Amino acid sequence: MDLGCGAGRTTFALSKLGYNNIVGVDIAENLIDYANKYSKENGIKVDFKVGDATQLKYKDNTFDVVIFSYNGMQCIPGEQNRKNVLKEVYRVLKPNGYYIFTAHDRHDPKSSHLDFWNDIETKWESGINEKNVECLGDLITIDQAGEEAFIHFSTIEKLEQFVKEQPFDIIEHIHSYDIAEETVETKKFAGDTVFWAIRKK
Ligand SMILES: C[S@@+](CC[C@H](N)C(=O)[O-])C[C@H]1O[C@@H](n2cnc3c(N)ncnc32)[C@H](O)[C@@H]1O
């Protein structure tokens, strides 16, 4: 399952790579409509469904692998909602199934935003919540379409804590720059992130 698949950017790529029986799930009806139209027009066998990652409509032990690409899980507002995604993904994965996702690291030493987050953290620790957000790391940004978008910047330690609330084994978390250098074009819209691979026990 490609969870939070949007218009199918990663879903179609997975299909092209030869993966079968893929389902793309997203909460945005218009994106799912677009993805279904595209797959129909291009004869691609991918099933796209509207669905909420915090309460999935699939039976326990259904999927071999779930991915949530482009930091999508962290775009869901509310700490409990993000914890519910981990809970739901755990439930729908088969035993030994993998959940692969990306999430920014607020403490990334190579990030150009490190000083920004250090400043916010110092203030937070002395009781100042400048933007009146729910969690340290919450941010409202302006997306490529010029619209307000929510994103939560976690730390590796915090995310490890959340992941371990379900019986997942953490296989790996690795900064994107330790895997490959992004192209100049990609760098224009996407910053460094961390790839996580975790496995249901
Ligand atoms: C950053 S976008 C990533 C889209 C796609 N994975 C990609 O890489 O192009 C995050 C996606 O998560 C979806 N999303 C947000 N909340 C969701 C939820 N509760 N359940 C399912 N999808 C959700 C959004 O509609 C959006 O398409």
Entry pTM: 0.96
Amino acid at position 104, single letter: H
In this prediction, residues 183-198 reach a mean pLDDT of 92
Closest CA to 158 of 102, 89, 106: 106
Asked if 18 contacts 45 with a C-beta cutoff of 8 angstroms, the reply is no
Q: How confident is the model at residue 189 (pLDDT cuts 50, 70, 90)?
A: confident
**Looking at the predicted structure, is the pLDDT value of residue 82 above 90?**
yes
- DSSP class of residue 182? P
Residue 31 to residues 5, 38, 151: CA-CA distances in angstroms? 9, 10, 19
State which H helix or E strand residue 158 sits in.
helix 156-163
In this prediction, residues 1-7 reach a mean pLDDT of 98
Q: Which atom of ligand 1 is nearest to the CA of 9?
A: 9
Q: Count Cβ atoms below 10 Å from residue 168 Cβ, excluding itself.
A: 21
Which tokens in the block code for residue 185? 């074009």
Measured CA to CA, the distance from residue 193 to residue 178 in angstroms comes to 10
Span from the CA of 107 to the centroid of ligand 1 (angstroms): 24
Q: Which atom of ligand 1 is nearest to the CA of 81?
A: 19
Q: Kindly provide the residue ranges of all beta strands, DSSP E only, lying in the chain, ordered along the sequence.
A: 2-3, 23-26, 47-50, 63-68, 93-103, 138-142, 148-152, 168-175, 194-200
The full set of domain ranges for the chain reads: 52-107+153-200
Residue 39 has a pLDDT of 97
Span from the CA of 122 to the centroid of ligand 1 (angstroms): 31
CATH topology for 52-107+153-200 is: Rossmann fold (3.40.50)
| 124-177: pLDDT as tens digits | 999 999 889 999 999 998 887 899 999 999 999 999 999 999 999 999 999 999
